[in-house]
Amino acid sequence: MYKLLLCLRYLRTRWIALASIVSVTLGVATLIVVNSVMDGFTTQMKDRMHGILSDIVLETRSNTGIAQPNWYEERIRNRLGDSVAGVTTVVTLPAMMTFQHNGNSHTQQINLIGIDQKTYASVSDFSKYLLHPENRDQLDFILKEGGYAPDRERMQPAGWEYRRPIARYRKLVNDRVRDGRTAEEEQAAEKSRYEALQQQIQREQLQSNTDSNTDVAENQSTNADSTDPSTPLEPSTQTDATPQTDSSVASLMAGPGIVIPNKAQQVNQFDPEKEQRTGIVLGISLGSIRGREPDGTVQDFFFLRPGDDVQVTFPNAGTPPRGIDETFTVVDFYESKMSEYDSTFAFVPIEKLQHSRGMIDPRSGIGAVTSIQIKLKPGVDLNTARDALRDEFPPTHEFVEVRSWQETQGPLLAAVQLETTILNILLFMIIAVAGFGILATFFMIVVEKTRDIGILKSLGATGTGIATIFLGYGVLLGTVGAGVGLLCGLLFVWKINDIARVVEWITGREVFDPTVYYFDTIPTIIHPFMLCWVTLGAILIAVLASVLPSIRAARMHPVEALRYE
Amino acid sequence: MNNSDSLRHPPIPAPHMLDTKPTVPYRVVHPEESEQRRTTHSGLPSVANPMLTATGLAKAYRKHQSSVPVLKGVDFSAERGKVTAIIGQSGSGKSTLLHLLGTLDRPDEGEIAFDGQRIDCLPSRQRDQFRNNQLGMIFQFYHLLPELTLLENVLAPAMIGNGILSYWRNRRQIVERAKHLIELVGLSHRMKHRPRELSGGEMQRTAIARALVTNPSLLLADEPTGNLDQETGRTILQLLRVLNREHGLTIVMVTHDESIAQQCDSIVRLKDGRVERLAAPILRTTSV
């Protein structure tokens, strides 16, 4: 009883000890904040990655891909049985995207992904990250009239609302070309140039073949700017003929680069005001730059919008592969808020890729794929399923690689994990340092209380009893320190974004730059287990630090203690 | 202690018991007799009725190699229900003797018995219990706990003696007894004050109340008036007298003041670590 009473009294009258416990408080608060933020980051990242990536991927590096995806799919379903929630086939290619902006041509490296839009949503949260509400329900690669992310002012207008006036404007510009000449005058000029060229060709044909070829190629490229000779029809309706052969062979015969308007051609000609090319969904960073308004708010500045056309160059399935050009119309953006994906991913219909690359078996009509993605039912153990598939498709026989999503992103997750661990160790060392502070303070208090210890002993208190007082004092101080730290930490985590704002306001520097992190706010997650662990650890350190002074107090000789001045 | 209940005194307000207190003259034993005395002590009823006896006590304080002898063979006996004074100059070893008697320290040689039970060689836990149950101690510098109020200071020994549970169960009785004792020493109006808000005399009276709260049979006082002015010292001595006469409390008091010693029932004089002589009308003087 006296132990408790004295503990409480010492706690109330010895503020110096509380000062020593402040470091414990700070340590606990920091640990909680760090762990919460790190956990928040990791969980957000994992959620997003997991959402983007399917659970397990069967991948081949072969250029021609897996020729019989159906057979593979069947084997997967047989092997995994009920635990499969969805399977989809994908063609993934490294590719290059080119687009015009402000009269300049821009080229970017992309990860071209041909997806089966009907089943792809069953293996990942892909649709959730699309901007148009209808596409979120079901993606169809068709340009919408409008309504793309209405909350993004910078993106408006988009869709047909954007494509139509732009196409009309381009047409107007093309009609009224350079030097103020009208389209008729231009065409007349072209015609005379064409005739001159014809004459020249006839003349040169008398000489060597090679000379004439280079001339023609030059001519073709100069004309390409003004008259846009790209393949005009929607690929699905077009017969299978590659543009290259068309231009290289037929141009010599029919006159290169010049579209002579006649009625039959005008019917079939591609009209960007009314038609679109094959749809492509771009990662949002491929079409925008994240920056700031003059007033400081973070905005995406779009140089591509749904409705714009982009050119994509990718390898075909031949050996050696050759580049193929295709023009796609941006139909939507994809925003997963994972910068790695947002800045490289571009999705197109899988049939288009298989078709263009020549991956379709002419006899069976089955298209090859480069990877098969599998989504497991919730609760199914990822690693078990992966091992089962590895067993089914041994790398020695099948030449396919089986990976889980965690392995795909292993290095990143491991790095975050390591960071968290090291921070935890460092901060616990800080608390341990605080422990030595407590030790010193406690020794001082024991010395200061020597007479009291003597008095208590003369009143019949046992050594254990005296030790209990100081141990209990340590527990109380530790509890108070850790408790206050717990509260502070929780408060900090709860208000972390407000605090970041205040710090920004004071220092004028951005604490959490959303242009870097792709999060609008600092994500936090508080695990109760972590709270217990941190709090108990801090109390334990405080108690351990009070053990030595307690022993010293218990061993004190009563007579000497009473005489102590 | 196994027989602590039988050793216990009845509660203090029991005036009818005062007359029954034995008044048998005190007998001091020569050191040579101590062997024989120990044999008679346990068996035959002694003429004297000693509560506390010590024989051949020796104590030296050692520091490094050198050893400073403080007590060099002291015999001591305190009569039940009497006030015994230990008098001597500074450094004569009187405080050390009192500490040995109060089991705060262990003698190098010799033995101490309380009610016929040896207490100097008990394990420390039992000695702690003995101090708590059987002994009250007051000191020259009062030695109150500065963090506690007057009432809590008085309650401290009871809290030490009882576990949390038994204290909680008996708290009403214990607090009542403490308040009674505080009233007895005349400090009821300062119950909630801290020691630093009290005067010296008040502090010493608090210490007396604290010493009595576990209802001990023996009070050891180490120069209880040494730090007080004469007037206050007198009231403290009167209070001790009252406790001795009316409640039959045995008191052993260390003092260096001859006039105070003269008021006591018997006197033990210490000089250079030995008993000089015993001066009391009935007592024989012994010199060692």
Distance, in Å, from the CA atom of B42 to the CA atom of B28, rounded to the nearest integer, reads 17
A558 contacts A452 by C-beta, under 8 angstroms: no
Contacts with B214 from chain A: Cβ below 8 Å: 460
- B145 touches A at CB < 8 Å: yes
- A10 touches B at CB < 8 Å: yes
Q: Tell which residue, A67, A51, A182, has the closest CA to residue A128.
A: A51
- B26 touches A at CB < 8 Å: no
Which amino acid is present at B223? E
Q: A5–B102: do the CB atoms touch at under 8 Å?
A: no
How many Cβ atoms are within 10 Å of A185's Cβ, its own excluded?
A: 13
B115: left (phi over 0), alpha (psi -120 to 50) or beta: left
**Which residue in A4, A455, A460 is closest to B161 by CB distance?**
A460
Pull the structure tokens for residue B144.
């109150």
Q: A452–B129: do the CB atoms touch at under 8 Å?
A: no
Residue A313: its pLDDT value, please? 92
- A459 touches B at CB < 8 Å: yes
pLDDT tens-digit readout, A340-389 = 788 888 999 998 888 888 888 888 888 888 888 888 888 888 888 888 88
Report the residue of B104, B127, B135 to disrupt the A interface, i.e. the one with the largest count of A CBs within 10 Å.
B104
B119 contacts B113 by C-beta, under 8 angstroms: yes
Q: Cα-Cα-Cα-Cα dihedral of A329, A332, A333, A335, to 10°?
A: -150
Q: B105–A559: do the CB atoms touch at under 8 Å?
A: yes
Distance, in Å, from the CA atom of A527 to the CA atom of B75, rounded to the nearest integer, reads 71
Q: Residue A421 class from Cβ within 10 Å (0-12 exposed, 13-18 middle, 19+ buried)?
A: exposed
Residue A211: its pLDDT value, please? 52
Residue A180: its pLDDT value, please? 61
Q: A10–B139: do the CB atoms touch at under 8 Å?
A: no
Distances A373 to A116, A335, A406, A547 between C-alpha atoms, Å: 11, 20, 14, 59
How many Cβ atoms are within 10 Å of B133's Cβ, its own excluded?
A: 19
Distances A527 to A39, A51, A490, B58 between C-alpha atoms, Å: 8, 22, 11, 66
**Which residue in B130, B137, B164 is closest to A1 by CB distance?**
B164
- A462 touches B at CB < 8 Å: yes
Strands B109-114 and B117-118: antiparallel
Q: A4–B137: do the CB atoms touch at under 8 Å?
A: no
Lowest mean pLDDT among A381-395, B20-34, B168-182: B20-34
Pull the structure tokens for residue A551.
């022993």
- B59 touches A at CB < 8 Å: no
**Which residue in B130, B157, B159 is closest to A5 by CB distance?**
B159
pLDDT tens-digit readout, B272-286 = 888 875 544 444 444
Report the residue of B159, B167, B254 to disrupt the A interface, i.e. the one with the largest count of A CBs within 10 Å.
B159
A368 contacts A344 by C-beta, under 8 angstroms: no
A257 contacts A323 by C-beta, under 8 angstroms: no
List phi, psi (to 5°) of A207: -85, -130
Distance, in Å, from the CA atom of A361 to the CA atom of A372, rounded to the nearest integer, reads 18
Report the residue of B4, B94, B131 to disrupt the A interface, i.e. the one with the largest count of A CBs within 10 Å.
B131
Indicate if the pLDDT at residue B40 is higher than 80. no
Query: What ipTM, to 2 d.p.?
Result: 0.79
**Which residue in A6, A460, A558 is closest to B132 by CB distance?**
A460
Name the β-bridge partners of A299. A291
Q: How far is A452 from chain B (nearest CA, A)?
A: 6
Measured at the CA of B22, the angle between CA B19 and CA B25, to 5 degrees, comes to 135
Q: Where are the domains of chain B?
A: 80-104+122-278
Residue B288: its pLDDT value, please? 35
Q: B163–A1: do the CB atoms touch at under 8 Å?
A: yes
Name the pTM for this structure: 0.65
Q: B131–A463: do the CB atoms touch at under 8 Å?
A: no
Measured at the CA of A440, the angle between CA B146 and CA A558, to 5 degrees, comes to 45
Indicate if the pLDDT at residue B46 is higher than 80. no
Measured at the CA of B136, the angle between CA B231 and CA B12, to 5 degrees, comes to 85
With a CB cutoff of 8 Å and minimum separation 6, the contacts of A429 are: none
Q: Tell which residue, A158, A220, A233, has the closest CA to residue A190.
A: A220
**Which residue in B124, B131, B156 is closest to A2 by CB distance?**
B156
Sign of CA dihedral A221, A225, A230, A232: negative
Query: How does residue B39 score in pLDDT terms, banded at 50, 70 and 90?
Result: very low
Measured at the CA of B20, the angle between CA B77 and CA B37, to 5 degrees, comes to 30
Distance, in Å, from the CA atom of A543 to the CA atom of A470, rounded to the nearest integer, reads 9
Chain B residue with CA closest to A558: the answer is B104
Indicate if the pLDDT at residue B17 is higher than 70. no
List phi, psi (to 5°) of A105: -95, 130
* pLDDT beneath 70, residues of chain A: 1, 176-184, 186, 208-268, 514-519
Which strands sit side by side in the sheet containing B109-114, from one edge to the other? B66-79, B50-63, B109-114, B117-118
Residue A419: its pLDDT value, please? 87
Residue A214: its pLDDT value, please? 52
Q: Which CATH architecture has domain B80-104+122-278?
A: 3-Layer(aba) Sandwich (3.40)
Name the β-bridge partners of A290. A300
Residue A17: its pLDDT value, please? 73
Question: Residue A444 CA to chain centroid, in angstroms?
Answer: 55
Report the residue of B148, B160, B162, B206 to disrupt the A interface, i.e. the one with the largest count of A CBs within 10 Å.
B160
**Which residue in B130, B144, B167 is closest to A1 by CB distance?**
B167
